Structure 1
Amino acid sequence: MHMFSLSLLTVALAAFNVIASPVAKNSTLSRRSAAVYSSCTVPNTVALTFDDGPYDYIYDLVNILNGKGVKGTFFFNGNNYRCIYDQASVDRVKYVYNSGHLIGSHTWAHKDLTTLSWDQIHDEMWRVEQAVSRITGAYVAFMRPPYGNYNQQVLDASGIRGQSVATWDFDSQDSLGASPQTSEQLYDQLISRHPSTILALNHETISTTVYQVIGYAIDHLKGAGYNLVTLNECLGLPAYQYVGAPAQRDSSWTC
C-alpha cells in the first residue's frame, strides 16, 4: 500500500486520532514542500472537480456522473455551508465515497490559507482530514486551497501532511455567477482548442451546474474523445494516503 512522505507515523497517529493540529515549523516529519498540480499529466484525460461540498445537490450530481459512467473529484469543507458531521452531511460524504468518486480536502472553514499562521493552517487542514477519515476510513492525498490561494508556508504545511496541492486550468465560472449557457459556451470554447488534458473547476453548491452544465460538459468532452477520470488518475497517482475502516460516531463528531 502506497504511503506519501507523511508516511507511517502520521497515518498511524491519524488512525488513533492523536495527532495535534499544530506541527512545529522545524518538524522533521518532512522537508519536502507539497507538489502543486494545476493540470493533468496523463494525456487525453479530463478531471471534473467540484468544490465546497458536501451540499444539497450532491445526490443529483453523483447520479448524473454515475449515469454517464464518469467518476468525479470532490473537495470537501468541514464547516462552510454546514457541518460535515451533521448526519445528512455524513450520508452525503459516504454516498460520494461509496460510489467510487475521489474525495480531497478543501480545508475546514474555507479560509484564505495565505492569511493564517502556521498553526492555523494545520488546524484548517487537520480538522477536515480527520472528518473524512472518520466518515470513510480514507486519509486524503490532495488539498485544494480555498480561492486557489497558497504561499510557501501552505506548501510546506501540505508537504508535512503528505498531501499534494491541486488547483485547475479551466474554470466553468459557475461560482462567479455565470449562467448555465455561459458555462456551456466556456466548455465549448475549451473543447474547440482541444488541449491534451483538462483539470476543470466546478462548484457543487451551484444547482444549475448539477442540472444542466455537467451533463452537457460530459457529453461534449466524451464526444471530443477525452477520458473522464478522477484527479489522481489524471495525474497517475494514488487516490489516498491510506485507507482503513470508518470510525463509529461519538460525541467528538461536532463542529
Structure 2
Amino acid sequence: MFTSAFVTLAVSALAVATPVKRAPAGAIYQCTEPNTAALTFDDGPWEYIYDISGKLLEKGAKGTFFMNGNNWGCIYDEDAAARVKYAYDAGHQIASHTWTHPHLNDLSWDQVHDEMWRVESAVQKITGAVPAFMRPPYGEFNDQVLEVAEQRGQKVIVWDFDSGDSVGVSEEDSKKRYDDTVASHPDTILALNHEIYSSTAYDVLPYAIDLLQGAGYKLVTVAECLGMEPYQSTGQPSERDDSWTC
C-alpha cells in the first residue's frame, strides 16, 4: 500500500520530468532605447538603396533594410547582391523580409521555415552575416510564425509608425504623418518605409531625417534601438557559385 509521502514524491517527480511548453516570444513593435528612432526600409534590395544610404550617412544616421530574396528581383543577381553588400559594408543593418513576400499565416510550418531560411542563407553568402531580425510581410504573423522565427534565432519586428508609402499616400501626406508623430514626441519611434519608392528616397526621407534629428532623436538601426546584436554570427562572404540563383 502506497503511503501519502510516496505518492507526493512520485507526483513531484512527474511534474519535474514533464516538459513545459513555452509560449513563443512575441513580436516587437517599439524600440526600447530612449530618444532613438529606427528608420526601416522593406522590400529591397532595390536601386534606391544607394540614395537612401547616402542621405542617412550624410547626417550620421544608420538604417535597417529588411530584404526579400525573390520579390521585385532575385537577390543573387549581381546588381542586387552588390546593393546588399554595399549597405552592409556601410554599417546599415540587413535583416530578413522572407524570400517571396508571402502571407505567412497561409503557409505550413515547413513553408514558413523555407521562406526564412532561403533569405537568411542568401544574406550570409553575400555578406557573411546571419540576420537576427525578420519582419513578416504585411505585418502578418501567428503563433506558428513566431515559433519558427524563435527556432531560427530571429526577433520578429513590426513597427509603431507607418509612413504610408506602400499604400499610396502622397509625399505631403507622408510628411504630415511624420509631423504628427514627432509633435506628440513619443520616447522612441520604429518607422516603416519601403525602399522601392523614389518618393521615399528623394523627398520624404530627407525631410524625415531633418525632422527627427531636429526633435532630438538619434537615428539608429533596429538592433541599436533595442540594445541587441544585429546578427547571429558574422564571417566572410562566400564566393559566387552555381548556388547563387533564384
Q: TM-score of the superposition, structure 1-length normalised?
A: 0.87
Q: Could you say which residue in structure 1 is the equivalent of 2:10?
A: none
Q: Aligned match of 2:153 in 162, 165, 176?
A: 162
Q: Distance in 2 between matches of 1:80 and 1:34?
A: 27
Partner Cα distance (1:242, 1:35) in 2: 22
Q: Secondary structure at the match of 2:181?
A: helix
Which residue among 97, 120, 123 is the counterpart of 2:114? 123
Q: Choose from 106, 111, 123 the match for 2:97.
A: 106
In the TM superposition, what is the alpha-carbon distance from 1:32 to its structure 2 partner? 6.4
In structure 1, distance between residues paired with 2:209 and 2:109: 39
**Aligned match of 1:183:** 174
- Which residue is equivalent to 2:62? 71
Determine whether 1:151 maps to 2:142: yes
Structure 2 unaligned spans of 5+: 1-18
* Kept in 2: contact 1:34–1:163 (CA 8 A): no
Distance 1:94 1:170 in 2: 27
SS at match of 1:210: helix
Give the secondary-structure state (helix, strand or coil) at the position aligned to 2:95.
strand
Shift of 1:34: 3.8
3-state SS of paired residue (1:158): helix
RMSD of aligned alpha carbons: 1.3
Question: Aligned partners of 1:206, 1:119: CA distance in 2, in Å?
Answer: 32
Please identify the structure whose Cα radius of gyration is greater. Answer: 2
Amino acid across the alignment from 1:51: D
2:218 is the counterpart of 1:223: no
Distance 2:195 2:37 in 1: 17
Give the partner amino acid of 1:190. T
Find out whether 1:212 has 2:203 as its counterpart: yes
Which residue matches 1:62?
53
The one-letter amino acid paired with 1:53 is G
**What's the offset of the Cα at 1:31?**
6.2
Please, which runs of 5 or more residues in structure 1 have no aligned partner? 1-27
TM-score by length of 2: 0.90
CA contact (8 A) 1:34 1:162 kept: no
The residue number in structure 1 matching 2:87 is 96
Runs of 4+ that moved beyond 4 A? none
Alpha-carbon distance, 1:69 to partner: 1.0
Work out the percentage of aligned pairs sharing the same amino acid.
Answer: 60
Could you list the per-position Cα deviations for residues 182-203 of structure 1 after superposition, in whole angstroms to 9, with x for gaps in the alignment?
1101100000000000000000
